[in-house]
Amino acid sequence: MGANPSDPAAGGLWAQHRGPLSVDDNFIILDDPLEQEIFTRPVEGDEPLLESILMVQGMYCAACSGAIEGALEGRPGVRSAEVQAASRRLTIRWDPSRVKLSELAAAVGKVGYRVLPMQFALSVEARQQETRKALWRLFVAGFCMMQVMMYAWPSYVTQPGEIPPDIDHLLRWASLVLSLPVMLFSSRPFFDNAWAHLKQGRIAMDTPVSIGILACFIVSLLATYNPSGPWGHEVWYDSLVMFVFFLLGARYMEFRLRDRTAGALDALMNRLPEQCDRQLPDGRFETVSLRRLQVGDVVRIQAGQAFAGDGTVLSDGVIVDEALLTGESQPLTRKRGEQVVAGSFNLAGTALIRIDRLGRDTRFAQIVSLMEQASTEKPGLVRLVDRIAAPFLALVMLSSLIAFYFWWQIEPSKAFSVAVAILIVTCPCALSLATPAAMLAGAGALAKRGTLVRRLQAFEALSHIDTVVFDKTGTLTHDRVVLRDVLTRDGVTREQALSLAASLAVTSLHPVSRAIVQAMPVGWDAQAVVQSVQDVPGGGLVSLAPDGSEWRLGSARHCGLSADALDALPANLADTPCTHLVDGQGWMATFVMDEGVREDAAEAISTLHALGFKTLLLSGDRLGAAQRVASQVGIETVLAEASPERKLEEVVALQQQGRHVAMVGDGINDGPVLARADVAFALGHGAPLTQTQSDFVVQSGRLSEVLHTVLHARKTMAVCRQNLWWAGSYNAISVPMAVVGWMPPWAAGLGMALSSFLVIGNAMRLGSMDTYTDIPDSSTLPVSASR
């Protein structure tokens, strides 16, 4: 993953090419099994299907999606094809025994688009090439526009007849010459796209645009050749070049802004380095592509570089940024022998790492797989826009013809201007971008915080949530036990008992033993008198004391405690996990364990209550343990000792009451209820099955991120509604103005460009909404606010 296509050390067919790939080269690469491992994966099921995710170059709108899907659907061996216009992702499910991927790429090429593996399409060279071409087209249109406007200016400031006919004719010819580069070079993407769709019998958003450009040029050309003819009273070169410049400028800005919205996901998914330094047996280093790395290689990672694979630190230590992978926003220190994960960044110094896992075996690859689903999914509203795009465009062209005929009867001099303005102003580019741009921007912002969005449609569902259901173990609590209290006999201090118990426990990896050791202060040393500790499976630890007696740490049975001794302990420990310590005199101490409620759980629950959410705790644990956790975090409704089926019944009952339910869980037994809930959250450390059933994966495990995601979903849907309102209002205002002749073609082009720019720019705001100031302060809430 992340290999440089032009690197000869990369292995595979990319290594055979330097510089930009030709179309034939691209087709060869798509069929190479080694290269397919990067962008293709098998589909689970009875049939031998593969799923490939590719980037599409040359698409600008929702109608482009339909053309690409139409070119692939129905072909032998193609099970499904879907294009996400905002992220330009093509997802194909195909049968390798019936068709080659290169054949499908050729079919897409015939309708005017090019598909590339995502890693190459997002490479620096490919982006620079695409940017340079767009800038050149924009520059030519802008330069010619300024010159044509200079020649057209006299006609705006003079009265008819003031300019001598020969001078007027000369200005028209000069404008014609300057308009040719705009027609032949700058406007070519519009013509190519429209022609490719027309050959398929489809109408693209560039179709009315191309018709408007051609109409302006042809009518102006006729007026230039025959000033005394029926069209000779006016030329439209200025409107033509201005419209092309405005539209190209808008599309260039969309391209740049898309990099900051949908492109935020691309950057996170392609953060592995293209090359790294591998250590040779003699201690020297060689620079190689990631494709040549193998498990067991030792690599040198420079400051600011991402780790190429999951590995073990061999240097003294390294400071890493694991925000994407764990949700931990603060830099972390990994010492010699500790693990680092692929995709995290080395923040300081040079680190030596031994590679333990590469490619799809890494945690980073699993995260990318989750994020790809979000970047390729089409929300329901986007599918609706895709379906109505072609009929809407056909209606636009019909309306333009009707307006032309109407105005030709009333005022022929305005008929052409009105028809062209309608063609241009009603192009639904802003409408097609309104929802996907906002949702992808929202997903990218959450990904930066370590929360992965698996379904974009979940944003809409989450914005309507009014009930949040929590699992207990691993969700409200840590997935490890902690020491809550120490009870000792007379004459033994807490510190003495804890030190002796820790000296025994340090030899064991049992969770209870680790909890006791972690309760000790930093820098403590095990007691030297504790030697030859034995681990009794299912019981605990035992060691000989200097006086010949035994120290025992473990269960009551292992320690030989009688029923009377246990009855002497506080009654509230009946349902509490405890570990006991005994010596030659009998019972010495009892260590009261707890699951350890997450530090931010109580505050997150309190804030949810303040915002009007109902919260519940569903747990398969004992009632006492569940109620103890619920009381600590502020949840009053508790369902304990619940099987997965019982949890599912409870969620269904809530939905039947009209509640919109979000479920937060982390265990395999949470899978059914997560699938049933309106929105499902899985914590990053949870079981893989749980994550596949979820809509959002919170890498950090912090419940505060669940709250942040809920608020972020509301903001995202608010931006979607704003975008849709603007796109609809723009058309509602602009179309009547164009019909009555109050909007010239150049103004229609400017309005169309600004509407698309405004939609993308509004979506960009989601990237800066990292915190929210409208969260109530739970400390100032009345008691009745919690329920």
Which residues participate in catalysis according to the annotation? 471
* Amino acid residing at 528: A
DSSP β-ladder status, 467-470 and 451-453:
unpaired
Cα distances from 350 to residues 303, 304, 596, in angstroms, run: 6, 9, 37
Q: How many helices (H) and strands (E) does the chain have?
A: 28, 27
Give the DSSP H/E element, type plus range, for residue 115: strand 114-117
Query: Residue 351 forms beta bridges with which residues?
Result: 301
Encode burial over 21-51: b for 16+ CB neighbours within 10 A, e otherwise: beeeebbebbeeeebbebbbeeeeeeeebbb
CA distance 184 to 610: 62
CA distance 224 to 521: 91
Q: Is the CB of residue 447 less than 8 Å from the CB of residue 770?
A: no
CA distance 235 to 405: 20
- Return the SS3 of 314: coil
CA distance 178 to 195: 24
Query: Residue 544 forms beta bridges with which residues?
Result: 550
Non-local (6+) Cβ contacts of 180 within 8 A are none
Cα distances from 5 to residues 17, 35, 318, 362, in angstroms, run: 8, 10, 30, 22
Cα distances from 110 to residues 68, 72, 105, 198, in angstroms, run: 10, 11, 9, 12
Tell me how far the alpha carbon of residue 104 is from its chain's centroid: 27
Cα distances from 505 to residues 100, 422, 510, 535, 680, in angstroms, run: 60, 80, 8, 10, 38
Nearest to 664 by CA among 610, 629, 710, 595: 710
DSSP 787: -
Nearest to 455 by CA among 442, 466, 464, 470: 442
Q: How many CB atoms lie within 10 A of CB 316?
A: 10
Cα angle: 59, vertex 60, 64; to 5 degrees: 60
Q: Is the CB of residue 397 less than 8 Å from the CB of residue 207?
A: yes
Q: Is the CB of residue 325 less than 8 Å from the CB of residue 450?
A: yes
CA distance 435 to 724: 7
DSSP assignment of 478-532 equals: -SS-EEEEEEE-TT--HHHHHHHHHHHHTT---HHHHHHHHTSPTT----TT--S
**Tokens 């912090």, residue located:** 702
Q: Which two tokens stand for residue 446?
A: 């959450």
**What are the phi and psi torsion angles at 658 (to 5°)?**
95, 10
Q: Is the CB of residue 544 less than 8 Å from the CB of residue 550?
A: yes
DSSP 645: H
Q: Which two tokens stand for residue 680?
A: 């499902």
Q: Which two tokens stand for residue 699?
A: 């890498």
Query: Residue 313 forms beta bridges with which residues?
Result: 353
CA distance 421 to 429: 15
Q: Is the CB of residue 128 less than 8 Å from the CB of residue 120?
A: no
